[in-house]
Amino acid sequence: MCGIFGVFGFGHDETRLRRMASALVHRGPDDEGFFEHDRVGIGFRRLSIIDVAGGHQPIFNETQDVLIVANGEIYNHEELARHLKTKGHVFSTRSDAESILHLYEEKGIACVNELRGMFAFAIYDLRLKKLILVRDRMGIKPLYYWAQGEKFAFASEIKALLELEEISREPNFPLMDQFLTLRYVPGPETLFREIQKLPAGHYLTWQNNSFELERYWAPPFDAQPKRPDVYYQEHFASLFEESVRKRLMSDVPLGAFLSGGIDSSAIVAAMSKNMNRPVKTFSAGFEWAGDELGAAREVAQLLGTEHEEVICQSQDFSLLPKIVWHLDEPIGDAIVVPMYLLSRLAQKSVKVVLTGEGADEMLAGYLPHKVMFWMRQYVKIVPQAIQNLCVAPFIRALPSKILTRAFPYPGELGKRGKLKLLDYLSLAQKEQARDEYFFLISLFDERDKADLYTDQMHGLVSSGGVRGNVKREIKGATYLDQILSLQYESWLPDDILMKQDKMTMANSIEGRVPFLDHLLVEFLHTVPPHLKLNGLVDKAILRDYLRKAGVPRAAKRRKVPFYIPIDQYFEKGPLKELVETCLSEKSVKKRGYFKWEKVRALRSAMSQSDFLIGKQVLALLVLELWHRIFIDRESGWV
């Protein structure tokens, strides 16, 4: 796990690469390496995991005319290396990065099809003066780039690119509008107007002062002949355990994040079967009675792990500015704070952790999956006239407190949530899965923005087009798979995996995600819907695995949102102080984006436990912090 970066077409400046390297020290505190030649500069910061003594990068081929810098892990690198040695390749290290390099010599860019793992790497061919950047299939590892005329630059994090004076810090206002909708910044653009994200499953070629972007992998959704349930259950168990087993590859101590839910419990159960020592596990809890610490302790005791916990408290939100700096772009989700604390705790005893990201996306574990699936049945069965004349008026007349009882979330549905539900009932009649999905995960909708934005902001967000996410038409897939496919556009790479990468790397540890092994992902797309969402039971095939793995109580555990009582934290301590500073009347009017009266109203409503309002205030707060840290470059925040 490392940080990589490079520049092309810039004048000679020996401090340039070192400034970029300094911005990425947290990604690689153990070592650094540089290559400079003929207006080309490539650099590397290393977190030593494999071949601790000998894995220095950049790594060259035998003839010293092709080099690689790589971030991530290739879990099948030993098999690849054995095969490549039979072809006459000479290895100078045991590093997995060197296997990529020699495989590239054999197969060119087609080498990516044989890699099993998470990666973002750069190969530079000195003979052809050609750079190739590659990002893994799922987008587990980040990679950013900038191009202008004859100049090109790339890096694992945006902050390294911002060390280059040539790169503008101008905000991307249309993407700011999308951030307020989604709570994260969807790729391939970023919140910096000139900087782009390399999309998941893509590679980029830079040669002769121009670049080309190509997709090399997409999740398959082809219809498959159906088999008995037992076939899928057995095959899932085999692939899942293999995925976990491969992610135990390490020359340094490793452990796992254990929430007590079924995803992390399954990972720890599989780890326990394949390790000859107790698994080190780490959990985070909160200042409220509904967290899952008790469930995590139960699983830890059952599986005999060495278990540690951290409690996220209101004072920990003093870390929010530092976390925003590590994220590069704002993410309006309070979960980043406990993720940071959990990574900091784990770093004291391990360098690698296995985490459960991806299970909800692959196995229909989120509330929106269930809502969309059952709403489609409702729309088909109930005539539209009855929906409009009876159901909608009935819901409109019900007090929000009564609706909250049917709302499977610790917060209150509230008046704003009730409006959202009514809007969704109307939208669902159109049977447009993509529109429904993004509406359900949205934070500020068009009604909110009309009241929130100043005239200046309305002009800024419409000042330029958005290139849009990497979309793909899905034919022949079940409705549930159509829903799940939407998460590949941006949710997984730009939110879920971005948080996981940035928060673990902020503390110099490597996070590995067994549920996103591409062979397992491809198999899960062949699994019938009822083995994912069976009635109101989510992740049915994973629950079957847990029962057979000897963790039956975890298999029965219902999905519990990773809820943070943020409405309580707004009332005291650092979070209250940050809101009073960053969302004060003076600050809001000076920025000029939002109407002070609307921001004041949101602040006043924070104490009502409305599940949307607290999230909206937090999103506005982290956006302002991002401005102050990255755009205004105010000192004292980090």
Question: Among all residues, which ones are annotated catalytic?
Answer: 2
CA distance 265 to 81: 33
How does DSSP assign 402-440, residue by residue? HHHHT--SSSB-HHHHHHHHHHHHHHHTT--HHHHHHHH
CA distance 247 to 509: 14
**Residue 276 DSSP SS3:** coil
* Residue 626 in tokens: 């991002």
How does DSSP assign 364-402, residue by residue? T-SHHHHHHHHHHHHHHHS-HHHIIIIIHHHHHHS-HHH
Ordered alpha helix ranges (H), 171-319: 173-182, 229-246, 262-274, 293-303
According to DSSP, the residues that pair with 4 across neighbouring strands are 44
According to DSSP, the residues that pair with 93 across neighbouring strands are none
How does DSSP assign 25-92, residue by residue? GGG-BSEEEEEEETTEEEEEEE---SSTTT--SSEE-TTSSEEEEEEEEETTHHHHHHHHHHTT---S
| C-alpha closest to that of 104 among 74, 149, 142 | 74
Judge whether 119 and 141 are in contact, CB under 8 Å: yes
How many other C-beta atoms are found inside a 10 Å radius of the C-beta of residue 290?
A: 10
CA distance 111 to 610: 50
Report the amino acid identity of residue 223.
A
User: What phi and psi values does residue 122 have, to the nearest 5 degrees?
Assistant: -125, 125
* Chain centre distance of CA 106: 32
- Residues 6 or more apart whose CB falls under 8 angstroms from that of 636 comprise none
* Residue 609 in tokens: 């436990």
How many other C-beta atoms are found inside a 10 Å radius of the C-beta of residue 592?
A: 11
How many other C-beta atoms are found inside a 10 Å radius of the C-beta of residue 571?
A: 11
Instruction: List, edge to edge, every strand of the sheet that includes 306-312.
Output: 306-312, 280-286, 254-257, 352-354, 510-512
| C-alpha closest to that of 357 among 209, 519, 487 | 487
> Which helix (DSSP H) or strand (DSSP E) does residue 205 occupy?
strand 202-207
| C-alpha closest to that of 532 among 479, 471, 473 | 479
CA separation, residue 445 to residues 191, 201, 324, 409, 607 (Å): 19, 30, 24, 20, 21
